[in-house]
Amino acid sequence: MKLETGDILLVDTEGFIPSNIDTFQGNDYNHAGFIVNIFGISYVFEAIKSGMAFTNFDDYLKRTEKEDVNLLILRPRIGFNVEEKKLMNFILPLTQKPYGYTNLIIYQAIKYITRKLGKEIWMGKSKAKSTKKFICGKLVAYIYNYFTGMFPEWYKAAPVDLYNSKDFKHIKI
């Protein structure tokens, strides 16, 4: 399968934190990355514990072969037609951003617990103050919002929000 720039990689992994993310979100996919093709090579741009990073997609697949990992591609129904130079000028400065642990551990948990109780409450940072740290879903939604206007509440996004968007086709890997 050929990956396209703008595809979203959703990942279902096992472990204490991923299992809790699954439980809070009510979805199996607990990690998200943005696919970027550079000189014909596919990379996953993602938020990981050390910060924002590019991972070669083939290396990503090799790393996950030995684990019980499910992967899903979300492909935009309207395409993601952004000039490569413009995209890279936007993404590269994001590599200096740290991971948003507080967002993941506290704000997302409150969001999904209160959503299940019938009235979602967001305790995290506002849109204006939200670009200092990222978690995976927020990072992907931020890129999409900047270029397409999708995900206007990008600062609240998690993998389940990407998964549930009607703007994407689901492609099993």
62-119 pLDDT, tens digit each? 877 777 788 999 999 998 999 999 999 999 999 999 999 888 888 888 988 898 889 9
Angle at 45 between CA 96 and CA 143, to 5 degrees: 80
Amino acid 105: pLDDT: 84
Please say if the pLDDT value at position 15 is more than 80: no
The phi, psi pair for 80, rounded to 5°, reads -130, 85
Amino acid 98: pLDDT: 94
Amino acid 27: pLDDT: 74
3-state secondary structure of 118: coil
Predicted TM-score (pTM) of this structure: 0.91
Judge whether 129 and 74 are in contact, CB under 8 Å: no
Amino acid 125: pLDDT: 85
Amino acid 138: pLDDT: 96
Enter the DSSP assignment of 103.
I
Amino acid 63: pLDDT: 79
The phi, psi pair for 130, rounded to 5°, reads -100, 5
Domains of the chain: 8-172 (3.90.1720.10)
Matching residue, tokens 């129904």:
77
Please say if the pLDDT value at position 20 is more than 90: no
Cα 65 to chain centroid, rounded: 21
